[in-house]
Amino acid sequence: MTISRFFLAGGVVMIPLMLLSVVAIALIAERLFFWLKTNRQQEQLVQRVFKLYRLDNVYEAMGVIKDNIKLPIARIFLAALNLDAPTPEEFRLALESEAQAEIPTLKRFSTAFETIISVSPLLGLLGTVTGLITSFASLTLGNIGGSETAGVTGGISEALISTATGLVVAIVTLMFANTFRGMYQKELALIQEYGGQLELLYRHQYERGRLTHAATR
């Protein structure tokens, strides 16, 4: 059976199911690109920034961050490092506030995925109902196995194909949505870890500056 015949055999609900599948593929591709890019570049950026910061090359570290501003961790670091001589508490609050602001970016399209996962099986079930209605409407008492056989089998095909398509769309989308959810949880843990490390480095620098200032008085 060709794709076009398969599509036609599934009935009218195949139209929204195909639209949902196209949307799901587009969203999955965007999220895959986002997470692959983030995971590949983030570790190198963080280690380079920490190395420069330990050497007191703060401005050079900020330049490296600005060159990678599309990464969430870069925007979080920059929000704190842009402050003018903050206290350690202010520095920590800036990191936490920007981390919260990045959550919508990290969870992007999660609602859309949940909607596709929920709606696709329901559309498949609707196709099952319409297919069975078509089958029963084709039956006439005393003509079982006669000329209405084609209508009965067509209705059953519509019921089975639409149900299977709805389940496939939902299952595939669910697998990727759970994968992205795991990446999101991992990223939150990394943001907390890297933010804590940067805060410690700033505290050491802040205390060293206070001691130096006190010694010169």
Q: pTM (2 decimals)?
A: 0.82
Residue 4 lies in a domain: no
Residue 5 lies in a domain: no
CA distance 20 to 32: 18
Dihedral of the alpha carbons of 160, 166, 169, 173, in degrees to the nearest 10: -140
The domain of 90 spans 17-137+147-216
Residue 12 lies in a domain: no
Residue 74 lies in a domain: yes
Q: From first to last of the 217 residues of the chain, give the pLDDT tens digit.
A: 566 776 777 778 889 999 999 999 999 999 999 999 999 999 999 999 999 988 888 889 889 999 999 999 999 999 999 988 889 999 999 999 999 999 999 999 999 999 999 999 999 999 888 877 777 666 654 555 555 555 556 667 777 888 899 999 999 999 999 999 999 999 999 999 999 999 999 998 888 765 555 555 5
The total of structural domains in the chain comes to: 1
Residue 84 lies in a domain: yes
Residue 47 lies in a domain: yes
CA distance 75 to 55: 21
Residue 7 lies in a domain: no
Residue 57 lies in a domain: yes
Closest to 110 measured CA to CA, from 49, 35, 212: 35
